Amino acid sequence: MGVVRDLFIGLSENEILNDASKKMGLRFGAQKVVGGTGVDDTLVRFADLNNQGMSITFDNLGEFISDRKEAEKEKNNIIKMIKAVNEKDLTVHASVKLSQIGLNIDETFCYENIKEILDAAKEANMFVNLDMENYLSKGPSLTILDKLLEEYDNVGTVIQAYFYDAKKDVRKYKDIRTRLVKGAYKEPATIAYQSKADIDQSYFEIIKTHLVEGNGFTSIATHDHNIIEKTIRFIETMGISKDEFEFQMLYGFRKDYQQDLVARGYNMCVYVPYGTDWYAYFMRRLAERPQNLNLVVKSFTSN
């Protein structure tokens, strides 16, 4: 299993394949998990999901940008999508990776960029979630978030359960809208739990803490039915209202389960990535869960 994971991680980092895929359009089944390559085709996906009773958080694909001009271009792309969404009657908010808008170049530059995005979002009455990346970027990301929170009420963050300090973080951000995840990056045992059992336990703990101790809206972002059903039993026991939280899943994954949760009256938000930079995202999803390869196989047998 580790070999397959490493193979797809390697493919996700291959520069030649990344560059080639930008000119190709969505291929190999990526169209099942990526909303579109541009604004117009992605807006169609948004409308379709809204019609199914789901809200959306969008992600302009591309990360770890090391060039100022590139970072500015990505910031403008995000603002373009915010404005396009605002012109339609859609329930959509934004997810932003700070490494895409300059975190690895200069923190002040990144701060100015995210402020511009938040101003555009505020005008559109839109919330912006700062995605969380690897541990190295966690400190600088939270410093930027804390500064933004002095000025904005339309920004939130992500807490990754695999970090030993997740519980401390969840208490700090209990009163703001927060997405809770298990954590997607490879981190060492000095800072993060390694086993699925430990990560799952920490994850359920932070879900309970955010739901019970704070006033912030809780986004529970997982495809794990065991955690979801356990959370539902917990909120029923505690009498927590369905308005206080939502479930989030990635676009194209567990679609039946997404629809089932909507039918049971739960808020379901779908994370929709879009853009020409789809290749690395797609390879990482295959690395995470090799069963997702069935998307590739199906892409050769259907439209």
Binding site for ligand FAD (CB under 6 A): 131-132, 158, 160, 181-185, 221-224, 248-250, 253-254, 271, 288-289
How far is residue 259 from each of residues 31, 229, 265, 268, measured CA to CA in Å? 19, 15, 10, 8
Tokens standing for residue 228: 């979801």
223-245 burial code (b ≥16 CB/10 A, e <16): bbeebbeebbeebeeeeeeeeeb
State yes or no: 81 annotated in a binding site.
no
Minimum distance between the CB of residue 23 and ligand FAD, rounded to whole angstroms? 28
Minimum distance between the CB of residue 120 and ligand FAD, rounded to whole angstroms? 21
| Closer residue to ligand FAD in complex, CB, 108/195 | 195
Helix residue ranges, H only, 54-190? 68-86, 107-123, 135-149, 166-172
State yes or no: 184 annotated in a binding site.
yes
State yes or no: 52 annotated in a binding site.
no
| Closer residue to ligand FAD in complex, CB, 24/205 | 205
State yes or no: 183 annotated in a binding site.
yes
Minimum distance between the CB of residue 121 and ligand FAD, rounded to whole angstroms? 17
| Count of C-beta atoms within a 10 Å radius of residue 24 | 14
Amino acid identity for residue 220 in this structure = I
| Closer residue to ligand FAD in complex, CB, 121/199 | 199
| Count of C-beta atoms within a 10 Å radius of residue 194 | 11
Residues that are catalytic? 131, 179
Binding residues, as ranges, are 97, 132, 160, 182-184, 196, 222-223, 284-285
Binding residues for FAD, as ranges, are 132, 160, 182-184, 196, 222-223
